[in-house]
Structure 1
Amino acid sequence: MTALYLLRHGETEWSRTGRHTSRTDLPLTPTGERRAGDAGRLLGILRGGEPPALVASSPRARALRTAELAGLSVDMVTEDLAEWDYGEYEGLTTAQIRETVPGWTVWTHPCPGGESAAEVGARAARVVERVRAALSDGDVILVGHGHFSRVLVATWLGMPPESGVHFGMDAAAISVLGDERGAPQITRLNVAPVLE
């Protein structure tokens, strides 16, 4: 049985402090670098020794560096795996946004100058289509971001993008998606790479 493995990039200063980060290209913190390496070892335990059919990454440096530290050789870099574009809310925390937009969440409100949930969902649908085609040749590993990966999980399950609110995806965490007799399922969700 082949599976789709989602690896969120390691910690950055903004992810650590809850600042929305899409286009801003930040480096991993030392903790983020260490945990990215740990995530690579965890992937090896979860997957075994077979090489994956496809490793794809977001073009952001934090994702590419995570892939490198995890020992992955990236076959494809695509904007389709980039984080939700937060537009004018880039670099702000939810609490800061709520000072002017009470009750705001990325799942329920627009991001002025950024992407809508439907637009992020359309990207996720393209990724799922590519992944399903590649799975016939082996496992697929996608290295990306928190909100986008959560939308991808929802899309895999046939749910609307906003349903991503129900799934966690911490920095350097791994989720595994598969199928049971044709029904999409979550095999593992938000597995932390703490191997100490």
Structure 2
Amino acid sequence: MTALYLLRHGETEWSRSGRHTSRTDLSLTPTGARRAGDAGRLLGTMRGGEQPALVASSPRTRALRTAELAGLSVGLVTEDLAEWDYGEYEGLTTPQIRETVPGWTVWTHPCPGGETAAQVAARATRVLERVRAALSDGDVILVGHGHFSRVLVATWLSLGPESGVHFGLEAAAVSVLGDERGTPQVKRLNVPPVLDWEGGDAGSAGTKGS
């Protein structure tokens, strides 16, 4: 059976410190680059040698570099896979935002000048329409970002975008979406790169958006 694989980009300086990163085009840290390579080996172990029907990526450098280091040949680069646009909150951490908006989260509050949850969900729906068309020919791999991919998981399960809060996605982790007799299903969630399985520093990058 074919499946949809989600690969979150490797660690950046901002993802490591919890700063919300959408349009800002950051490079990977050395750790992020190493884990991107590890993620490619993990994908090979999970999928075998079959060529995917489609590899698509966000246009941000951190996503494209992750795909490259993972050994993936990107066939589609699309803004539909870009991170949630945080508007005026770009570059801020949640504690900084909460200094003026108590209790703020991206799941429950607006991002002034950025995207609404409904707009992000609409992008996820467009992506999944293309994914489902390609899955008849083989696996699909999407290389993207934390918050957007969490909305995409929720959309795959026919849940609202706010349900993305329930799905943690760390930097360079792999998730697998599929179905059971036609019912959408999460097959794997937030699987860390191989070196983390072998006693590395799992979890240091966190699950914030980037």
TM-score bracket, normalised by the shorter chain, equals: over 0.9
Aligned residues: 196
- Which residue of structure 1 aligns with residue 208 of structure 2? none
The CA distance in 1 between the partners of 2:48 and 2:186, in whole Å, is 19
1:194 CA drift (Å)? 3.1
- Which residue of structure 2 aligns with residue 147 of structure 1? 147
The unaligned stretches of length 5 or more in structure 2 are: 199-210
Q: Which 4+ runs in 1 deviate beyond 3 A?
A: none
Aligned residue identity for 2:24: T
Q: Deviations over 1:20-77 (max 9, x none)?
A: 0000000000000000000000000000000000000000000000000000000000
TM-score of the superposed pair, with normalisation by structure 1: 0.99
| Secondary structure of the structure 2 residue equivalent to 1:178 | strand
Aligned residue identity for 1:6: L
Aligned residue identity for 2:40: G
| 1:153-172 correspondence to structure 2 within 5 Å | 153-172=153-172
Q: CA RMSD in A?
A: 0.5
- Which residue of structure 2 aligns with residue 194 of structure 1? 194
- Which residue of structure 2 aligns with residue 113 of structure 1? 113
TM-score of the superposed pair, with normalisation by structure 2: 0.93
- Which residue of structure 2 aligns with residue 15 of structure 1? 15
> Does residue 59 of structure 2 align to residue 54 of structure 1?
no
1:167 CA drift (Å)? 0.1
Q: Deviations over 1:143-166 (max 9, x none)?
A: 000000000000000000110000
The unaligned stretches of length 5 or more in structure 1 are: none
Aligned partners of 2:124 and 2:148 also within 8 Å: yes
Q: Report % sequence identity.
A: 87
| Secondary structure of the structure 1 residue equivalent to 2:168 | coil
| Secondary structure of the structure 2 residue equivalent to 1:185 | strand
- Which residue of structure 1 aligns with residue 99 of structure 2? 99
The CA distance in 1 between the partners of 2:54 and 2:174, in whole Å, is 16
| Secondary structure of the structure 2 residue equivalent to 1:49 | coil
The CA distance in 2 between the partners of 1:23 and 1:141, in whole Å, is 22
- Which residue of structure 1 aligns with residue 179 of structure 2? 179
